[in-house]
Chain A
Amino acid sequence: MRPDQIATAITNALVMGGAQWLVATIVAFLPALWTMTLILHLGRPYVLRTLRRCGLRLGADIWWMSYVIMRDAVLLLTFAFSWVFFAPNIVTNDALPITGPLAALCLLLALAVKLSRRVDDDVMAYRLATVFLVLGATLYYGALVFAVEATSQPYLAGFGAAFTSNTNPLVAQIIMYVSMVGVVLVAGWLFVRASLSANRTMAPRLKAGQPPVTKEPTPVAR
C-alpha cells in the first residue's frame, strides 16, 4: 500500500469515524440525560420540602430557581439530543432503540404541557407531564437495555433484532416518520399558540401606536 493510500484511509477514517463517534457519544449520553430528566422531574416534592425550610426568601428563591433551570434545561437538552432518532441515514445504519423517536415525541409532549399549562401550580398538568415522561423513558430504556445493549445474549436475539433500528430498518423508518409527523404537529401547535399569544398581548398596543409601557420603579423607603 502506497503512503498516499494510507493517508487517504486515515483521513477518511477520521472523518467517517468522527461522525460515527459523535453519534455514538450522543446515543451513549442519552440514557444519562433521560435518567436526569426523570429524577429531577419526580424529585419535585423533595425539592419543595427542602425549600419550605429556608428561613430567608433569598435562599428559597435561589434553590427553586436552580432546580427549575436545571430540570427544564435537562429536559430540553434530552429532546435536542434526540434529533439522531429523526435522521433516516443514522436510524438505518446505526444500532439505535427502535422506539427512540416515540420516546422523543413523548418528551416533546411533556415540554408542550409545560409550555401550555402551569405545571408547577396545576396538579393535573404535572401528572400529565409525568405520564408522558414515564412513558417515553419506558419506550427508550426497554429497547436500549434489552435490544441495543444485549447483543451478547443469545436468548434475547429475537427481541434484539426486532427492537434495534438497523436490524429492522423498515419498521424503524415507519416509527420514525410517524413520530416525525407527531413532532411537526406538536411543534406547529406550539408555534401557532405562541403567535396567537403574542398577537393578543402586543397587537392592541401596536394599533394604538403606543410604545411598550414600562413601569416606574416603586420608590423605596429611605
Chain B
Amino acid sequence: MTTNQLTQAIISGINAGGEQFLEGTLAAALPIIWLAILGLQLGRPYILDMIDRFTLRLGADLLWLIYVALRDLLIVSGVVMSFMFFFPDVVTTDQLPLTGGLAAVCLFGVLLVKLVGDPDHNLRDFRIVSGLLGLGSIFYFVPYVLGVQANAVTQGSWAAVSMFLVTNSNPSWAVGIGYVSIALMAILGAIAAGYTLVTGGRAEAQEPASK
C-alpha cells in the first residue's frame, strides 16, 4: 500500500463515518423530538389551566408565548431533521423507520394547518392537528420500535416483519414511500406558498367571537 492509497482510505473512512454518524445522531434524536412534540401538544390544557392562575397579564402572556414558541419550533425542527427520509441514498444505506417520510409529511401538514387555520382557537383545526400528530407518531414509532430497534432480536415471522419495517433491508418500499412523501411534501409546500402569495403574508384567519 502506498502513502497516497492510505491517505485516500483514511479520507474515505472519515467522510463516510462522519456522514453516517451525523445521520445516526439525527435518527437517534428524532424519537425525543417526537415525544416532546406530543407532550407539548397534549399538555395544552395544563398550560391553559396554569395561565388562568396568573395574577399578572405579563406572566400569562410570556408563559403562553414560550409554550407556543417551544411547541412550534420543535415541530419545525422535526420537519427539518426528517429531511434525510427523502434522500434515496440515505434510506437505502442507513437503518431508518420505513414510514419516517410519511411521519415528516404529517408534521408538515400540522404546520400547514397552523398556517391556514387556527388550531389554538378553532376546535376543528385543533382536532386535525392532533390527528395528524397521532398519525405521524404511529408512522414514526411503529417501524422504529418494531423494526429499527428490534431487528436484531426478533425471530421467525416477526423477524420478517421487523426487516420489512427498516429502510435498508427493504429498499424498494423505502424508496417508493420516499417518492410518495416527496410528492405530498411538494403539494403541501405549494399550498403553503400559494396561501402566503394570496394573503401577502397577512393573518387572514377570522377571529373567533369568543375565546
Give me the interface of A with B, judged by CB distance under 8 Å.
1, 5-6, 8-10, 12-14, 16-18, 20-21, 24-25, 28, 31-32, 35-36, 38-46, 48-50, 52, 54-56, 58-59, 62-63, 66, 119-120, 123-124, 126-127, 130-131, 134, 145, 149-153, 156
Most chain B beta-carbon contacts within 10 A, residue among A18, A39, A130, A150: A39
- Name which of B39-47, B138-146, B154-162, B189-197 contacts chain A: B189-197
Cβ-defined contact, B87 with A145, below 8 A: yes
Answer yes or no: B81 CB below 8 A from chain A CBs.
yes
Contact A21 B18, beta carbon cutoff 8 Å: yes
Is the Cβ of A42 less than 8 Å from the Cβ of B68? no
Are A150's CB and B88's CB within 8 A? yes
Chain B residues contacting A58 (CB-CB under 8 Å) are 58, 61
Contact B79 A48 (CB under 8 A): no
Question: How far, in whole Å, are A145 and B15 apart by their CA atoms in the complex?
Answer: 20
Among B72, B93, B175, B189: residue with most chain A CB under 10 A: B189
Give Cα distance in the complex from A8 to B81, angstroms.
37
Is B34 located at the chain interface by the 8 A CB criterion?
no
Let me know if B65 and A62 touch, CB within 8 A.
yes
Instruction: Provide the residues of chain B in CB contact with A55, threshold 8 Å.
Output: 57, 60-61
Rounded to whole angstroms, the CA-CA distance of A121 and B192 in the bound complex is 20
**In the bound complex, do residue B7 and residue A31 qualify as a contact, i.e. CB atoms below 8 Å apart?**
no
Contacts of B200 in A (CB 8 A): 123-124, 126-127
Do A9 and B7 have beta carbons less than 8 Å apart? yes
19 CB < 8 A contacts A-B:
A6-B3, A9-B3, A9-B4, A16-B7, A20-B11, A20-B15, A21-B14, A35-B79, A35-B80, A45-B201, A45-B205, A46-B72, A46-B203, A52-B207, A63-B65, A127-B200, A134-B193, A145-B87, A150-B89
Nearest opposing residue in chain A for B61, CB measure: A59
Taking the nearest CB of chain A, how far is it from the CB of B184, in angstroms? 14
Task: Please provide the chain B residues from 72 to 88 with a CB less than 8 Å away from any CB of chain A in the complex.
Answer: 72, 76, 79-81, 83, 86-88
Instruction: Contacts A28-B19, A52-B203 known; list 17 others, CB within 8 Å.
Output: A9-B3, A12-B3, A13-B10, A16-B7, A17-B15, A20-B14, A21-B15, A24-B15, A28-B22, A32-B81, A35-B83, A36-B76, A43-B115, A48-B203, A63-B69, A127-B197, A149-B86
Given contacts A49-B118, A56-B57, contact A42 B192 (CB under 8 A): yes
Question: Which of A10, A55, A145 gathers the greatest number of chain B CB atoms within 10 Å?
Answer: A145
> Residues of B at under 8 Å CB distance from A?
1, 3-4, 6-8, 10-11, 14-15, 18-19, 22, 57-58, 60-62, 65, 68-69, 72, 76, 79-81, 83, 86-90, 92-93, 111, 114-115, 118, 120, 171, 175, 182, 189, 192-193, 195-197, 199-205, 207
Tell me the nearest residue of chain A to B73, going by C-beta.
A70
Of B1, B65, B202, which contacts A59 at CB under 8 A? B65
Pick the residue among A46, A62, A130 that contacts B115 (CB under 8 A): A46
Once A9-B7, A28-B19, A28-B22 are accepted as A-B contacts, the answer to whether A149 and B61 lie under 8 Å apart by CB is no
The 3 closest A-B pairs by CB, nearest first: A123-B200, A13-B10, A59-B61
Quote the shortest CB–CB distance from B199 to chain A (angstroms): 6
| A60 to B203 Cα, complex, angstroms | 15
In the bound complex, residues from chain B placing their C-beta under 8 Å from that of A28 are 19, 22
